[in-house]
Structure 1
Amino acid sequence: MANIRKTITSSIIGGAAAIAAIAALTLPGPATRADAAVVVIPAPEINVPRTGGTQVAVLAGGCFWGMEAVFQHVDGVQSVVSGYAGGSAADANYRDVSAERTGHAEAIRIVYDPTEVSYGHLLRIFFAVAHDPTQVNRQGPDVGPSYRSAIFPQNAQQRQVAQRYIAQLNGTGRFPRTIATRIESGRFYEAEEEHQNFMNRNPRHPYILAHDVEKVRDFRRAFPNDWRATPAS
């Protein structure tokens, strides 16, 4: 099932009938979705200071469509961009990254107002609802290193907060397995235009219906005080 999303995406060119046929044959409906669930976890013990001006977070947690959709609804987030992190500029494109030969991770770049939402709170949402941080090189039906769970700190403070939070969460016993999230370095490269704002532009896409709609609902239920109805661009 590693290439389900790629198959469906390429089928968009063939029209809605092709998409519906693939969905009916290969994708579970929302009622059977088991690749993500809310995990109740504590806030991080340390955090990045809430300074003036915007800050940036880069997070990888499987398919960037769902990650983007969740964080677009976080109050205090100004923009979310899908892209590729951890590899080089030369092959930072969907075809090569999907072939698992570039070293990139599908990731999102979040620009946020730290006076409204902290870096630590973004990590709390990341671990609690945006993806399953215990899965190694996969998320749900998507398999391969490009779907790994990873954090790309933008400075030393973010790195320290991320490292301490992973250790803290592993000590809580809230997850069934050890957290697999990696702390990595590397630049972020923006993905192709068709992958930006994907859920809002393609709300009936079968992959979105099967794997991402419930993630957004879970976020709204678990973090009602952080919910913004109008998604960030």
Structure 2
Amino acid sequence: MTQSGAARFPRLLAAVVAGSIVAQCAAPAQAESVVKLPPAKLDPAVNAKRATAVLAGGCFWGVEGVFERVKGVISVESGYHGGSAATAKYELTHDGKSGHAEAVRIVYDPTQVSYGTLLRVLFSVIADPTLKNRQGPDVGSQYRAAIVPLDATQRQVATAYLAQIGQGRYFDKPIVVPVESYKQFYRAEANHQDFMRRNPSNGYIVRWDAPKLAALKRLFPDMVRPTSAP
């Protein structure tokens, strides 16, 4: 990869570096931030078989890969949220100027998993809510963690849960996750869909995302489905 190519695709460079590191290390990689957060106090029941959530937590490969293994999740797709249709492309988001965040759209069964539980998983094992415009090795507004409510109830749950975990002092630093207004979710390119499931030996996945799935299984074993969502 040329220097200019590395600059345009920093995660691909990170995957190469991470793969080299993992190959040389005998000990398995650990998730960067793992905190077993409590259930959401405000989490009203939803009388429906399907609901949708849009969440961002850094690189969408791992966010998608972890949520695919949560019981009650019907489907997950990677995409972009926050910018325009014209810039909703992988190669156009990496200067941090597009307004987009790498995000996921989750279709779930509220009778099996609540919106508050999805937030609990997001901030317990996937994303560090004290980091602004970065997660893991990825830096820039396109890697921000964010909650994007799709209705008034989701907004209430999101706002209350951020306040709850902030007041509970589960983290050493303040919570900086924004609650963003929904604009439009743009599905990412086909090669990014189910990336973690299709590429378990990828260096980036091994170093940064597989530990998140391992943390989910360790902290919340009752939430884990035996196989990924279809």
2-structure distance, mates of 1:161, 1:107: 19
Change (3 A) 1:31 1:67: farther
Check whether the contact 1:30–1:210 (CA below 8 A) recurs between aligned residues: no
Check whether the contact 2:31–2:209 (CA below 8 A) recurs between aligned residues: no
**Map 1:67-78 → 2, pairs under 5 A:** 67-78=63-74
Change (3 A) 1:140 1:87: same
What amino acid is the match of 2:114? S
What amino acid is the match of 2:189? E
Deviation at 1:231, TM superposition (A): 0.3
CA deviation map 1:58-77 (0-9, x unaligned): 11010000001110000000
In the TM superposition, structure 1's runs of 4+ consecutive aligned residues that sit over 4 Å from their partners are: 25-35
1-structure distance, mates of 2:152, 2:226: 33
Q: Secondary structure at the match of 2:85?
A: coil
Deviation at 1:48, TM superposition (A): 3.7
Match of 2:131 in 1: 135
Deviation at 1:100, TM superposition (A): 1.6
Change (3 A) 1:137 1:34: farther
| 2:3 is the counterpart of 1:6 | no
Deviation at 1:30, TM superposition (A): 8.6
Change (3 A) 1:156 1:206: same
Deviation at 1:52, TM superposition (A): 1.6
CA deviation map 1:79-108 (0-9, x unaligned): 000000111111100000122220000000
Picking from 91, 98, 106, the partner of 1:95 is 91
CA deviation map 1:155-180 (0-9, x unaligned): 01100110011011100011111111
**TM-score, normalization by structure 1:** 0.89
**TM-score, normalization by structure 2:** 0.90
Check whether the contact 2:35–2:125 (CA below 8 A) recurs between aligned residues: yes
Q: How many residues align?
A: 223
Deviation at 1:131, TM superposition (A): 1.3
Match of 2:219 in 1: 222
Change (3 A) 1:87 1:173: same
1-structure distance, mates of 2:219, 2:18: 32
Q: Secondary structure at the match of 1:109?
A: strand
Change (3 A) 1:37 1:30: farther
Change (3 A) 1:153 1:27: farther
Deviation at 1:226, TM superposition (A): 0.6
Structure 1 unaligned regions, length at least 5: 10-18
Structure 2 unaligned regions, length at least 5: 1-5
Percent identity between the two aligned chains: 47
CA deviation map 1:94-138 (0-9, x unaligned): 000122220000000000000000001111111111111111110
